[in-house]
Amino acid sequence: MSRSKIITIHILCWSLFLAYTYFFWLKEVPDRQTFWLNVSINFAKISTFYYCYSFIYPKFSTNRNKFFLTGGILSACIFFALCRYSWEELLYPAWLGFRNYDEGISLPYYVFDNLYYAIPYIVLAAAVFFLHRHFILERINLQLKEEAGKAELAFLRSQINPHFLYNSLNYMYSLALPKSQELADALVNLAGLMRYTLKENKDGLVQLEDEITYIKDYISLFSMRFSPQFYVNFKTDTQGSNPRIAPLILIAFVENALKHGIVELPEHPVDIVLCIRENQLEFSVFNKKSKKIKDRSGGIGLVNVQRRLNLIYKERYRLDIKEDQKDFRILLQITL
């Protein structure tokens, strides 16, 4: 429910409450003192309700220490009394010439005497707050269940379609081999790429060498469209280490460079560098920007990759993206 609807409902409910309160005065107009005392106590009731609804319950109801919640409820009783006291014992004597209680009454007695009026609205605020929160949680749970169902269905579909395509590629390879070695090699590369994307690991990580092989195969497959005018430099320096990383993180930047960059000019090659420095992986990609899109397929997308980086590596990565009208450059650093 939107905030504007909630405000509208509150205004409507309090309007009905005040209309019911003053309905009986249509037949018999009260004296001046009774009217103003009724105004002050209704002001205290509504103010105490929102003091609890907007501050006490949101702040302390989720706290496991019930001491703070109890203290907040007691403060609401004092708040109610202070609201009445400020009107009836301070403002009214100065403005209207009368007070509600005898002069000199102690504040503790004033608070205790007003508990009867304060408690119902403290309880009402609790009922409204927790009922509203219950509806919000129910709506969130329904959304989560719906999203979980869609995710499960999408996962099952993603398992069926790639396996079907992978098996089809193997069949196509057997048909292409007698006629074109180049086409057969392309199908082998494509099947290898698909096999890698289907590979599952318990910890959700893969060896860096497997990711490097995947990138090389992807570049090799992409180069067949532009060969021999295809200039991409891919350099690696892992210093003999083979750490485990999240799969298909690096390939998104390579895909973006090949899709949107210039690959046909030897003086402006796409430069891809991957290196390991102690416990840090550094991955950089530089390309000149092309005015035409060579591939209109969807791809993983940089936004998707950034979300995955936030989920997997959180504070352990840094991604710098710099671009102008001609160049595009990224530098990804991950603490392993």
Write out pLDDT tens, residues 92-132: 998 988 988 887 777 788 888 899 999 999 999 999 999 99
In this structure, the number of other CB atoms found within 10 A of the CB of residue 232 comes to 19
Q: What are phi and psi of 3, to 5 degrees?
A: -65, -40
Residue given tokens 């890698």 in the structure block: 196
Report, as an integer, the average pLDDT of 64-92: 88
Residue 162 structure tokens = 């790639």
What CA–CA distance (Å, rounded) separates 271 from 276?
Answer: 17
In this structure, the number of other CB atoms found within 10 A of the CB of residue 192 comes to 18
Does 168 score more than 80 pLDDT? Answer: no
- Position 209 scores a pLDDT of 93
CB-based contact 79:39 (threshold 8 Å): no
DSSP string, 208-256: HHHHHHHHHHHHHHHHTTTTTS--EEEEEE-TT---EE-TTSHHHHHHH
In this structure, the number of other CB atoms found within 10 A of the CB of residue 302 comes to 15
Does 55 score more than 50 pLDDT? Answer: yes
What CA–CA distance (Å, rounded) separates 240 from 145?
Answer: 45
CB-based contact 283:332 (threshold 8 Å): yes
Does 335 score more than 60 pLDDT? Answer: yes
Lowest average pLDDT, out of 66-70, 145-149, 294-298, goes to 294-298
Q: How far apart are the first and last CA of the chain?
A: 43
- Position 298 scores a pLDDT of 46
Average of per-residue pLDDT values in the chain: 83
Residue 216 structure tokens = 């090389």
Q: List, for residues 242-272, the tens digit of each pLDDT value.
A: 999 988 889 889 988 988 889 888 898 999 9
Residue 16, H or E segment = helix 3-23
What CA–CA distance (Å, rounded) separates 287 from 258?
Answer: 8
Going by pLDDT thresholds of 50, 70 and 90, the confidence category of residue 299 is very low
CB-based contact 257:272 (threshold 8 Å): yes
Q: What is the identity of the amino acid at 63?
A: N
Lowest average pLDDT, out of 58-67, 247-256, 325-334, goes to 58-67
| 3-state SS, residue 105 | coil
CA distances from 18 to 11, 79, 237 (A): 11, 21, 77
Does 162 score more than 70 pLDDT? Answer: no
Instruction: Check residue 260 and report its DSSP letter.
Output: H
- Position 74 scores a pLDDT of 92
Report, as an integer, the average pLDDT of 23-52: 86
Query: Where do the domains of the chain lie, and which CATH numbers do they carry?
Result: 3-145 (no CATH), 202-335 (3.30.565.10)
CB-based contact 283:274 (threshold 8 Å): yes
- Position 170 scores a pLDDT of 65
Most confident of 2-16, 199-213, 294-308: 2-16
